Structure 1
Amino acid sequence: MKIGLFPSKEYKVSNDVDSIELINENALKTEVFRIGESINGSKHELSVDGATVILRKLSFGDLFDVEYENSCSCFGMHFLLEGNYEFAGLGNKAKVNIGSGCYNIINWPNILGTQKFKGATYISVEVFFVKAFLEDLLGEEQISFKDFLSATNDTPKSLWRKEQLIPERLRTLLLDILHCPYQGNAKTNYIESQMRCLVIEAFLRKESNSTKSKKDGLHALDYEAIEKVSLHIQQNLKLKLTIKELSEVAGFNTTKLKNCFKKVHQTTIFKYITMLRMEKAKTLILEEKLTIAQASYEVGYSNPQHFTVAFKKSMGYLPSLLLTNLS
């Protein structure tokens, strides 16, 4: 039984794909493909008992629009590190939208519809699972949001009405999965173990989100403003970001912005920006095969030497060490 959204039977991949390479590493299936002139990418798919994890790394200029279906009612955790995701059921009656830097958890019924992948670069991690998988992973005593898990729907139902910004802890796990350095059994087992950690972190974090603003001593509207600032930072890493500009995004004065941001993220705004830039640069070097100079420019550094110093200070090693993984 396949768990998750997969291309429908009516969709014939061979008609549109110029080239495709299939790599099987035990339970891990990898597709490296090219579609037309501008679409290139890879999809990694790992199926375990009760769950499926799908990793997508795509690069394209045009909208990628494919008919998908779900034949087994399940739940899906959708993390968008780059790009934008949209699902529309037949007749556009059921829609799911998730933007860059965000995630949501969806209760998927049996459904047929269209998935749209948007953005010059599209990087995502999706975990589909049945209720029994979650109960076995967390234990029934840990699950207090049973209405969501027990609901039966004709259309997809989101756990959160509004998509959530991916927090730092989950971003770290996602990058570990995407940049797994191992091969063979080690790679399969590593991705599976990190996927389980990801599900645990995401669901248990859901319980703490409702009280997080209270623990931080922030009004709920102030907390939402900081989340808005965080998303603006993630989507504009190539630009010069200033405290004044970010204050306008939040609707705060600069002092309130700095204080509220540190309460939420436990770090300063500029350290947060630097961390995201280094993570983005690492992805560009490893996945897009950019040079260090090119990656530094894409994350807002006009001087590669300044970037190298910042990368070493933030990551603990020189960016040149990443190039050894490409040889």
Structure 2
Amino acid sequence: MKTILKSSIFENNVLIKTFEKDFKTSNFSEKTVAIDYTSVKGTLTEISVSGLRVLIRDVETEDYNVEVHHNFPFFKLQFEIEGFSHYNPLDQDCPEVYIPNNHYNLFYLPKVHGTLSYKKGHRKTLEILFTENYLKAIIGKNFKQILHRFGAAILSETAFFMWQKSQPITTDLQNHIDEIRFCKYPKDLKKPYLEAKIKELLILLLAQTNEDSNNKAPYNISETDYNAILKVEHYIKTHLKASLTIAELAVIAGMNTTKLKQSFKLIFSTTIFKYISCLRMEEAKQLILEEKFTIAEAAYHVGYKHPQHFTVAFKKIYGYVPSHLICDRKVF
């Protein structure tokens, strides 16, 4: 299995990666490398485990393009936590793959040869690559019959997308993502933990591919209103410390407060204030685990004046108090 990447950002303008068949590996491996290309700087963590290739990116990018060619069928679950990804195939009969900020999709492409485009900004991702044999291993030999539409697409070597239009990352999915990205277990425990978590996540989503609703337009909302809600969502993410109001957000969206609340819930499947609260807790959790913030420091950083109010909100979302994270941090 071989991947060829061509871009001016690489030394000699090309990067070639080779993999064992079905991403097989005898041992669990995890490697984090510093990326220092002209247009991309940050870190990339690559994890190889039981027929999976997992990529965790945290980079700052300029506008740049990469020509990509895989010589194998491409199965991928991709979360653009922050940033943007756009694949444009050379063969115009093949579909594009567009995943904007805070969106995800699960897809299968029988062949990949085209251009990946990225925009200037901060890009954080979780990308899970797998193969047909991995599906067979976790679901069974008759997985093509079990997965209906997805199975039929694989059988006919036709491109498949879980969603016609990439979907926003829900708070439940974000929790799954965080459990994978921020796993602190030692190597011997991390391997079975990640295997179980990724298997759970994939089966959760694969089960949804059988639902007829996934093959329809995701929501009855105009492209203009959809983009307005994404603008609001971006504003929320960049102003988490502020005391945000519905009236303020309605002005940004260019719609009345009622329409804003209805449209936001239609797209993100939750209310605006619950979404804000979940984002604040997610950032606080990361600050405590990764940046070694105290509970009070994390609370103030995400806009809470009183740590006790933060603790109540945190427990309401995660089911445990934030001091539990401090204990985990000490153990590992």
Q: Same fold (TM over 0.5)?
A: yes
In structure 1, what is the equivalent of residue 147 of structure 2? Answer: 143
Query: Would the aligned equivalents of 2:57 and 2:126 in 1 still touch at CA under 8 Å?
Result: no
Matches within 5 A, 1:116-155: 116-139=117-140, 140=143, 142-145=146-149, 146-152=151-157
Does the residue aligned with 2:85 lie in a helix, a strand or coil? strand
In structure 1, what is the equivalent of residue 313 of structure 2? Answer: 314
Q: CA deviation at 1:205?
A: 2.7
Q: 2:164 aligns with which of 161, 170, 174?
A: 161
Does the residue aligned with 1:60 lie in a helix, a strand or coil? strand
Q: Give the direction of change, closer, same or farther, for the CA distance of 1:262–1:126 in structure 2 (3 Å limit).
A: closer
In structure 2, what is the equivalent of residue 201 of structure 1? Answer: 204
Query: Would the aligned equivalents of 1:11 and 1:67 in 2 still touch at CA under 8 Å?
Result: no
Instruction: Select between 173-182 and 89-98 the one with higher mean Cα deviation.
Output: 89-98
Q: CA deviation at 1:284?
A: 5.1
In structure 2, what is the equivalent of residue 31 of structure 1? Answer: 32
Query: Would the aligned equivalents of 1:170 and 1:201 in 2 still touch at CA under 8 Å?
Result: no
Q: Give the direction of change, closer, same or farther, for the CA distance of 1:191–1:138 in structure 2 (3 Å limit).
A: same
Q: Give the direction of change, closer, same or farther, for the CA distance of 1:253–1:42 in structure 2 (3 Å limit).
A: same
Query: Would the aligned equivalents of 2:232 and 2:252 in 1 still touch at CA under 8 Å?
Result: no
Q: Give the direction of change, closer, same or farther, for the CA distance of 1:30–1:311 in structure 2 (3 Å limit).
A: farther
Query: Would the aligned equivalents of 2:289 and 2:325 in 1 still touch at CA under 8 Å?
Result: no
1:55 paired with 2:55, answer: yes
Number of residues of Structure 1 aligned to a counterpart in Structure 2: 303
1:46 paired with 2:58, answer: no
CA-to-aligned-CA distance 1:11-70 (integer Å, 9 cap, x gap) = 996679xxxxxxx99422313214158712122222423xx2323232224246444331
Matches within 5 A, 1:180-191: 180-191=183-194
Runs of 5+ consecutive residues of structure 2 not aligned to the other structure:
14-24, 316-320
Using the aligned pairs only, state the percent identity. Answer: 27
Q: CA deviation at 1:133?
A: 2.5
Query: Would the aligned equivalents of 2:34 and 2:42 in 1 still touch at CA under 8 Å?
Result: yes
Q: CA deviation at 1:194?
A: 0.8
Does the residue aligned with 2:204 lie in a helix, a strand or coil? helix
1:85 paired with 2:90, answer: no
Query: Would the aligned equivalents of 1:70 and 1:108 in 2 still touch at CA under 8 Å?
Result: no
Q: Give the direction of change, closer, same or farther, for the CA distance of 1:212–1:242 in structure 2 (3 Å limit).
A: farther
Paired with 2:273 and 2:221, the residues of 1 have a C-alpha distance of: 19
Q: 1:271 aligns with which of 264, 269, 274?
A: 274
In structure 1, what is the equivalent of residue 21 of structure 2? Answer: none
Paired residue type of 1:203:
L
Paired with 2:99 and 2:208, the residues of 1 have a C-alpha distance of: 19
Paired residue type of 1:99:
P
Runs of 5+ consecutive residues of structure 1 not aligned to the other structure:
17-23, 214-218
Q: Give the direction of change, closer, same or farther, for the CA distance of 1:169–1:285 in structure 2 (3 Å limit).
A: same
Does the residue aligned with 2:184 lie in a helix, a strand or coil? coil
Q: Give the direction of change, closer, same or farther, for the CA distance of 1:110–1:91 in structure 2 (3 Å limit).
A: closer
Paired residue type of 2:111:
N
Paired with 1:209 and 1:234, the residues of 2 have a C-alpha distance of: 28
Paired with 2:226 and 2:136, the residues of 1 have a C-alpha distance of: 30
Query: Would the aligned equivalents of 1:53 and 1:195 in 2 still touch at CA under 8 Å?
Result: no
Does the residue aligned with 1:221 lie in a helix, a strand or coil? coil
Paired residue type of 1:175:
D
Q: Name the Cα RMSD after superposition.
A: 4.4
Query: Would the aligned equivalents of 1:26 and 1:188 in 2 still touch at CA under 8 Å?
Result: no
Paired with 2:157 and 2:214, the residues of 1 have a C-alpha distance of: 28
Q: Give the direction of change, closer, same or farther, for the CA distance of 1:109–1:266 in structure 2 (3 Å limit).
A: closer
Q: CA deviation at 1:114?
A: 3.9
Q: CA deviation at 1:125?
A: 1.5
Query: Would the aligned equivalents of 2:219 and 2:267 in 1 still touch at CA under 8 Å?
Result: no
Q: Give the direction of change, closer, same or farther, for the CA distance of 1:323–1:226 in structure 2 (3 Å limit).
A: farther
1:111 paired with 2:115, answer: no
1:325 paired with 2:324, answer: no
Query: Would the aligned equivalents of 1:26 and 1:185 in 2 still touch at CA under 8 Å?
Result: no
Does the residue aligned with 2:164 lie in a helix, a strand or coil? coil
Paired residue type of 2:234:
Q
Instruction: Select between 157-166 and 245-254 the one with higher mean Cα deviation.
Output: 245-254
Matches within 5 A, 1:228-267: 231-232=230-231, 234-236=233-235, 237-239=237-239, 240=242, 241-246=244-249, 254-255=257-258
Q: Give the direction of change, closer, same or farther, for the CA distance of 1:76–1:104 in structure 2 (3 Å limit).
A: same
Paired with 1:212 and 1:242, the residues of 2 have a C-alpha distance of: 35
Query: Would the aligned equivalents of 1:83 and 1:118 in 2 still touch at CA under 8 Å?
Result: yes
Paired with 1:233 and 1:64, the residues of 2 have a C-alpha distance of: 26
Paired with 1:73 and 1:85, the residues of 2 have a C-alpha distance of: 19
